[in-house]
Amino acid sequence: PRIAVLISGRGSNMMSLIEAAAAPGFPGEIACVISNRPEAHGLARAQAAGIPARAIDHTAFRDPSGKPDRAAFDAVLDATLEAEQIDLVCLAGFMRLLTPGFTRKWQGRMINIHPALLPSFKGLHTHERALAEGVKIHGCTVHFVTPEMDVGPIIMQAAVPVLEGDTPEALGARVLAQEHVIYPAALRLVCEGRARIEDNVVRVDEFEL
Ligand code: GRF
């Protein structure tokens, strides 16, 4: 499949996907990177890796009253993905909510990485909240994207311990290292058709990390 990676920032998960997909025999091709923020550091990193990368600046899409027009942004995003003949979309630190129409259209063909063990800690500031709740295990989740944020069928998770004296930064770095392991692995499974949604949960064939 032809894969698009959507980012908003530094793009470390994007790089882990680009690096994995560059290995001989990887069952998919990263065809393009798209950022909703023109200043995203990840755009330059993608270009340096030889991947076509561009911004679609969401702030340029406003309705006549000046309010953000999510549907107009998503329509251009969708047209861009179609023009690139994309089969599979990876959200990698893409910090923009997508409209239900867009997510429904790409449902089963769009995956996301979330820095928490879903269904715990949906949304933002997951590491701060995990520390505030005193959980002893934290982690990350790759899941299929559905219209409701951070809710779709779970493909793969990794857990890390929460250690005494952890800061959000220290805990976040421990989680991020695992994100870089499971996102490429989950992408491979999805590309190979070895992660299938059945009755709202994902059945995964045997795999090795
Ligand atoms: C990651 O922690 C990811 O899980 C979250 O946003 C962060 C993006 O980091 N959705 P990067 O841009 O991949 O480095």
Mean pLDDT, contiguous 10-residue spans, the chain (209 residues): 98 98 98 98 98 98 94 98 98 97 97 98 98 98 96 97 98 98 98 93 87
pLDDT value at position 208? Answer: 81
Q: What is the CATH number of domain 113-140+152-209?
A: 3.40.50.170
Q: Residues lining ligand 1, judged by CB closer than 6 Å?
A: 7, 9-14, 42, 92-93, 113-115, 176, 179
CA of 93 to the centre of ligand 1 (A): 4
Instruction: Give the position, in ligand 1's atom list, of the atom nearest the Cα of 16.
Output: 13
What's the token pair of residue 173? Answer: 């770095």
pLDDT value at position 140? Answer: 98
pTM over 0.90: yes
Binding site residues for (6R)-10-formyltetrahydrofolate, as ranges? Answer: 70, 95-98, 112
pLDDT value at position 94? Answer: 98
Q: Domain 1-106 sits in which CATH superfamily? A: Formyl transferase, N-terminal domain (3.40.50.170)
pLDDT value at position 118? Answer: 98
Contact 190, 199 (CB under 8 A): no
CA distance 118 to 195: 18
pLDDT value at position 56? Answer: 98
Catalytic residue among 41, 58, 114, 180: 114
Rg (CA), the chain: 17
Binding site residues, as ranges? Answer: 11-13, 70, 95-98, 112
Contact 43, 94 (CB under 8 A): no
CA of 179 to the centre of ligand 1 (A): 8
Q: Tokens 């220290």 identify what position?
A: 170
Indicate if 113-140+152-209 has the same CATH topology as 1-106.
Answer: yes
**Which letter, b or e, does each residue of 105-128 get, where b requires 16 or more Cβ atoms within 10 Å of its Cβ?**
ebbebbbbbbbbbbeebeeeebbe
- Which amino acid residue places its CA nearest to atom 6 of ligand 1? 93
CA distance between the termini of the chain: 21
CA of 57 to the centre of ligand 1 (A): 19
Domain ranges across the chain: 1-106, 113-140+152-209
pLDDT value at position 200? Answer: 87
Closest C-alpha among 18, 9, 47, 2 to residue 180? 18
Ligand 1 mutation target, pool 6, 7, 12, 149, most atoms within 8 A of CB: 12
41 is catalytic: no
Contact 86, 111 (CB under 8 A): no
- Which amino acid residue places its CA nearest to atom 14 of ligand 1? 12
What's the token pair of residue 73? Answer: 């942004």
Closest C-alpha among 114, 115, 110, 116 to residue 187? 110
